[in-house]
């Protein structure tokens, strides 16, 4: 199934996600640098990167939700999309709480705020994999002939790769 919302022929959701991913992950890195260097400059930059990342995450969520609502119910893609979306809402909440905890003193964030950043980044790794599963494995948003019930890309119970059971399609007709 193709994406519901496109700009100049390309899906909008994948265009937006690099910004919050990069901003929020780098905010955590800068918080770690703040802890090591004790320079408040890094915490301040992390605060503002987090601000932009939260706003960007909310914008990406709107377009992701529009695409998810178009996925037929009772498909694996629908379930994976639900986990992906709910997980990303949790990521934004973790960073929003971190942002709120440091709002009055962005130059000296409490340890709890930085722990929340770390949890947010860890959760982003999981939700990013789920997003990759939606696009790369299930073809959501990119392929009109998507297999919305394709098996997981993780190895099966006996360790074999499920992709061995899926015929490889040529990208261009011969």
Q: What is the mean pLDDT of each run of 10 residues along the chain (174 residues)?
A: 76 91 98 96 97 97 91 91 96 98 96 97 96 85 69 68 51 55
Asked if residue 105 is part of any domain, the answer here is: yes
CA distance 39 to 46: 12
Please count the other Cβ atoms lying within 10 Å of the Cβ belonging to residue 119: 17
pLDDT of 173: 56
Q: What is the pTM of this model?
A: 0.80
pLDDT of 170: 53
Asked if residue 28 is part of any domain, the answer here is: yes
CA distance 157 to 149: 18
CA distances from 114 to 19, 34, 70, 89, 109 (A): 20, 10, 36, 18, 7
Q: Which two tokens stand for residue 77?
A: 């893609």
Q: Are 4 and 62 in contact (CB under 8 A)?
A: no
Report the number of distinct structural domains present in the chain.
1
Asked if residue 113 is part of any domain, the answer here is: yes
Asked if residue 174 is part of any domain, the answer here is: no
CA distance 150 to 148: 6
- The boundaries of the domain holding residue 65 are 6-148
């Amino acid at each position: 199934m193709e994406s519901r919302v496109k700009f100049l022929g390309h899906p909008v959701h994948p265009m937006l996600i690099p910004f919050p991913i990069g901003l929020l992950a780098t905010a955590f890195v800068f918080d770690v640098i703040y802890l090591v260097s004790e320079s408040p400059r890094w915490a301040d930059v992390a605060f503002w990167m987090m601000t932009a990342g939260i706003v960007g995450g909310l914008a990406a969520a709107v377009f992701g939700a529009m695409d998810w609502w178009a996925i037929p119910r009772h498909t694996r893609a629908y379930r994976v999309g639900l986990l992906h979306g709910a997980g990303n809402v949790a990521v934004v909440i973790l960073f929003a709480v971190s942002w709120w905890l440091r709002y009055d003193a962005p130059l000296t964030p409490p340890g709890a705020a930085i722990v929340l950043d770390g949890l947010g980044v860890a959760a982003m790794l999981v939700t990013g994999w789920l997003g990759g599963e939606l696009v790369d494995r299930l073809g959501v948003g990119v392929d009109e002939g998507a297999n919305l019930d394709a098996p997981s890309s993780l190895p099966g119970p006996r360790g074999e790769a499920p992709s061995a059971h899926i015929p490889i399609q040529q990208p261009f007709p011969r």
